Structure 1
Amino acid sequence: MTLILGLDPSLSCTGWGVICAQGSRLSHVANGEVKTNARAPMAERLYQLHSAITAVIAAHNPDRVAAEEVFVNKNAQSTLKLAQARGAVLAACGAANLVVNEHAARLVKKSVVGTGGADKVQVQAMLKVLLPGAQIAGADAADALAVAIADAHLASR
């Protein structure tokens, strides 16, 4: 049995999801979203992300973490904010001595849906099949669960 924490880092709303992988069987453990106030100072927002993910790690004690790889936006400022949010979230994982596997968004979609060009609706529909009965907190939590599932599938190869 392996507990995997999936992360979809973002400054405005970081999604997280925990699944249990037992061989090829997957089950939902928990998920949520950490939303920050856009009007708050950057340092406060980053601290909030770090603290929240630290609490998730403490509550669920995952064996490893999977995060979506950073992608470069056309807007350099957006890319920088995303990188800072990822840094805060990954620092929480590092403080807990957790290995973080990073996966490209296209690989996550291919692993969960079967095609790297899948849209969010297709990913969310597949989550209902793969994690029946799971109450998913929102789109960012769904993305985080997809990252965790992709990590489980890729590790089983």
Structure 2
Amino acid sequence: MRIIGIDPGLRHTGWGIVEFKNNKLIYIGDGTISPSTSISDGKRLFFIKSELSEIISKYIPNKSAIEQIFVGFGAGSSLKLGMARGVSMSVLAESGLDITEIPPKLVKKTITGYGSASKQQITSMIEKLLSVLPKNEDSADALAIAISAHHIGDDYSASNLQQANNSLDIAIAKALLKEKKKS
């Protein structure tokens, strides 16, 4: 199963792709779509759409996940974030991908075990889990979203979340053990 995770934003839309094969987590790619801030919002959205379509064509994921909107930024910021999220979801749906929407706190809890983890903590755990340094914080978040989507499944009920946490605990323990052996 190859999953693309999307961390939407009008200035920076992070993307990350992981694959789960034979119970192994494999890094495929990550990056950020960053349209010029000197062009109109419509052109920026079109740029996100075009770039994301190319990424999907290149990597051919089987599933997608996107972060739900956190509505604490203010009306203007939330609206712009919503536009980027909407265009991203449209591209994912147009590509025939199932879309899992995940709240930010659930992504953080799934990856770090703590729902209020910092971006640095997310990046550090992604580095340990995938043995790769993400290109930036936005792509680290996108990789975390993709990993979370696999672990929580399509329905993140309490029982599924508990199973996901158990699987993640094993993956984290393996990554930490591997890191310890390197030292």
- Please give the TM-score of this superposition, normalised by the length of structure 1: 0.94
- Write out per-residue CA displacement over residues 86-124 of structure 1, whole angstroms, 9 at most, x where no aligned residue: 111111111111111000011001100011011111111
Shift of 1:25: 1.9
Give the structure, 1 or 2, with the largest relative contact order (CA under 8 Å, sep 6 or more).
Answer: 1
Tell me how far apart the structure 2 counterparts of residues 74 and 14 of structure 1 sit (CA, whole Å).
16
> Is the 1:24–1:153 Cα contact (8 Å) retained in structure 2?
no
**Greater CA radius of gyration, 1 or 2?**
2
Please list, as runs of the form range in 1=range in 2, the aligned pairs for 1:104-115 lying within 5 A after superposition: 104-115=103-114
- Write out per-residue CA displacement over residues 64-103 of structure 1, whole angstroms, 9 at most, x where no aligned residue: 0011001113410111000001111111111111111000
Query: Which residue identity is paired with 1:79?
Result: S
Aligned to 2:14: 15
> Is the 1:26–1:131 Cα contact (8 Å) retained in structure 2?
yes
Consecutive unaligned residues of structure 1, counting only runs of 5 or more, are none
> Is the 1:46–1:88 Cα contact (8 Å) retained in structure 2?
yes
Q: By percentage of residues, which structure has more helix?
A: 2
Identity of aligned residues (%): 33
Q: By percentage of residues, which structure has more strand?
A: 1
Please list, as runs of the form range in 1=range in 2, the aligned pairs for 1:4-153 lying within 5 A after superposition: 4-22=3-21, 24-132=23-131, 134-153=132-151
Q: CA RMSD in A?
A: 1.3
3-state DSSP class of the match of 2:121? Answer: helix
Query: Which residue identity is paired with 2:150?
Result: A
